[in-house]
Amino acid sequence: MTWALCLNCGETKFGAILKCEHCGVSSSGNRELDMFFSDHNYSAGTLEQLGQVVKSINAVSDMPDERFCAFMLYVSTRHPEMLSYEPEEDMIEKIEEILRKADPPDVIVAKPNDDLEDKIQ
Ligand SMILES: [Zn+2]
Protein backbone atom coordinates (compact mmCIF):
# COMPACT_ATOMS: atom_id res chain seq x y z
CA MET A 1 0.00 0.00 0.00
CA THR A 2 0.91 3.59 -0.47
CA TRP A 3 1.55 6.44 1.93
CA ALA A 4 0.64 9.74 0.42
CA LEU A 5 0.39 13.37 1.32
CA CYS A 6 -3.11 14.78 1.70
CA LEU A 7 -2.86 17.99 -0.30
CA ASN A 8 -5.93 19.31 1.46
CA CYS A 9 -4.85 19.16 5.11
CA GLY A 10 -1.17 18.18 5.03
CA GLU A 11 -1.50 14.92 6.95
CA THR A 12 0.00 11.73 5.58
CA LYS A 13 -2.65 9.26 4.54
CA PHE A 14 -2.87 5.65 3.52
CA GLY A 15 -3.62 5.28 -0.18
CA ALA A 16 -3.08 8.22 -2.51
CA ILE A 17 -6.66 8.44 -3.74
CA LEU A 18 -8.48 7.13 -0.67
CA LYS A 19 -10.38 9.39 1.67
CA CYS A 20 -8.15 11.21 4.18
CA GLU A 21 -8.97 10.19 7.76
CA HIS A 22 -8.16 13.67 9.00
CA CYS A 23 -10.16 15.92 6.69
CA GLY A 24 -12.42 13.57 4.71
CA VAL A 25 -11.15 14.75 1.33
CA SER A 26 -10.17 11.91 -1.00
CA SER A 27 -8.30 13.62 -3.80
CA SER A 28 -6.92 16.95 -4.94
CA GLY A 29 -8.93 16.39 -8.10
CA ASN A 30 -5.76 15.53 -9.97
CA ARG A 31 -5.01 11.85 -9.67
CA GLU A 32 -1.53 12.16 -11.13
CA LEU A 33 -0.65 14.74 -8.53
CA ASP A 34 -2.09 12.61 -5.72
CA MET A 35 0.12 9.75 -6.83
CA PHE A 36 3.09 12.04 -7.32
CA PHE A 37 3.17 13.08 -3.65
CA SER A 38 3.38 9.52 -2.39
CA ASP A 39 6.03 7.13 -1.13
CA HIS A 40 6.43 5.85 -4.68
CA ASN A 41 8.42 9.00 -5.33
CA TYR A 42 9.49 10.45 -1.98
CA SER A 43 10.50 9.33 1.47
CA ALA A 44 8.01 9.40 4.33
CA GLY A 45 10.07 12.20 5.91
CA THR A 46 9.78 14.30 2.77
CA LEU A 47 6.01 13.79 2.63
CA GLU A 48 5.74 14.88 6.27
CA GLN A 49 7.76 18.02 5.62
CA LEU A 50 5.63 18.84 2.59
CA GLY A 51 2.67 18.38 4.91
CA GLN A 52 4.10 21.09 7.17
CA VAL A 53 4.19 23.37 4.13
CA VAL A 54 0.52 22.63 3.41
CA LYS A 55 -0.36 23.33 7.04
CA SER A 56 1.53 26.61 7.15
CA ILE A 57 -0.35 27.76 4.07
CA ASN A 58 -3.69 26.56 5.45
CA ALA A 59 -3.04 28.64 8.56
CA VAL A 60 -3.13 31.88 6.57
CA SER A 61 -5.76 31.13 3.89
CA ASP A 62 -9.14 29.48 3.91
CA MET A 63 -9.62 29.47 0.15
CA PRO A 64 -8.97 25.96 -1.22
CA ASP A 65 -7.94 27.23 -4.67
CA GLU A 66 -5.46 29.70 -3.25
CA ARG A 67 -4.04 27.15 -0.84
CA PHE A 68 -3.48 24.69 -3.63
CA CYS A 69 -1.88 27.25 -5.95
CA ALA A 70 0.34 28.54 -3.15
CA PHE A 71 1.55 25.03 -2.36
CA MET A 72 2.26 24.32 -6.01
CA LEU A 73 4.11 27.61 -6.42
CA TYR A 74 6.17 26.92 -3.31
CA VAL A 75 7.21 23.47 -4.54
CA SER A 76 7.92 24.58 -8.10
CA THR A 77 10.06 27.54 -7.03
CA ARG A 78 11.97 25.90 -4.13
CA HIS A 79 12.28 22.51 -5.75
CA PRO A 80 12.03 22.96 -9.51
CA GLU A 81 13.33 19.43 -9.99
CA MET A 82 10.08 18.11 -8.47
CA LEU A 83 7.60 19.82 -10.72
CA SER A 84 6.98 22.93 -12.73
CA TYR A 85 3.92 25.05 -12.24
CA GLU A 86 2.63 28.24 -13.81
CA PRO A 87 -0.03 29.96 -11.75
CA GLU A 88 -2.73 31.97 -13.48
CA GLU A 89 -1.52 35.50 -13.86
CA ASP A 90 -4.29 37.07 -11.79
CA MET A 91 -3.50 34.67 -8.93
CA ILE A 92 0.23 35.32 -8.67
CA GLU A 93 0.12 38.38 -6.45
CA LYS A 94 -2.41 36.80 -4.11
CA ILE A 95 -0.54 33.52 -3.67
CA GLU A 96 2.84 35.21 -3.28
CA GLU A 97 1.29 37.21 -0.47
CA ILE A 98 0.03 33.96 1.09
CA LEU A 99 3.50 32.43 0.90
CA ARG A 100 5.02 35.52 2.49
CA LYS A 101 2.59 35.26 5.38
CA ALA A 102 2.79 31.48 5.69
CA ASP A 103 6.59 31.42 5.62
CA PRO A 104 6.61 27.64 4.97
CA PRO A 105 9.48 25.57 6.38
CA ASP A 106 12.25 24.26 4.16
CA VAL A 107 11.83 20.77 2.80
CA ILE A 108 14.64 18.28 2.37
CA VAL A 109 13.70 16.21 -0.63
CA ALA A 110 14.62 12.55 -0.35
CA LYS A 111 13.72 9.59 -2.49
CA PRO A 112 11.90 6.68 -0.83
CA ASN A 113 15.06 4.76 0.00
CA ASP A 114 17.31 7.64 0.95
CA ASP A 115 18.32 7.86 4.55
CA LEU A 116 16.91 11.21 5.61
CA GLU A 117 19.02 11.36 8.78
CA ASP A 118 22.19 11.54 6.71
CA LYS A 119 20.90 14.52 4.78
CA ILE A 120 19.99 16.56 7.83
CA GLN A 121 23.49 16.37 9.33
ZN1 LIG B 1 -6.56 15.45 4.66
Which whole number is the average pLDDT over 96-105? 98
pLDDT above 90 coverage of the chain, percent = 81
Which whole number is the average pLDDT over 40-68? 96
Q: pTM here?
A: 0.90
End-to-end CA distance of the chain: 30
Ligand 1 centroid to Cα of residue 121, in Å, is: 30
Ligand 1 centroid to Cα of residue 10, in Å, is: 6
Total domain count, the chain: 1
Ligand 1 centroid to Cα of residue 23, in Å, is: 4
The reported pLDDT for the residue numbered 43 is 94
* Per-position b or e across 2-13, b if 16+ CB within 10 A of its CB: ebbbbbbbbbbb
Q: What is the DSSP string of 38-57?
A: BTTTS-HHHHHHHHHHHHHH
User: Containing domain of residue 11, as a range?
Assistant: 3-110
Ligand 1 centroid to Cα of residue 106, in Å, is: 21
* Residue 117 domain flag: no
* Residue 119 pLDDT > 70: no
Which whole number is the average pLDDT over 71-78? 97
Which whole number is the average pLDDT over 17-37? 91
* Residue 52 domain flag: yes
* Residue 22 domain flag: yes
The reported pLDDT for the residue numbered 120 is 52
* Residue 62 domain flag: yes
What's the whole-number average pLDDT of the chain?
A: 91
Considering all CA atoms of the chain, what is the largest pairwise distance in Å, rounded to the nearest integer? 41
The reported pLDDT for the residue numbered 17 is 81
Q: Which residues neighbour ligand 1 (ion) by CB within 5 Å? A: 6, 8-9, 20, 22-23
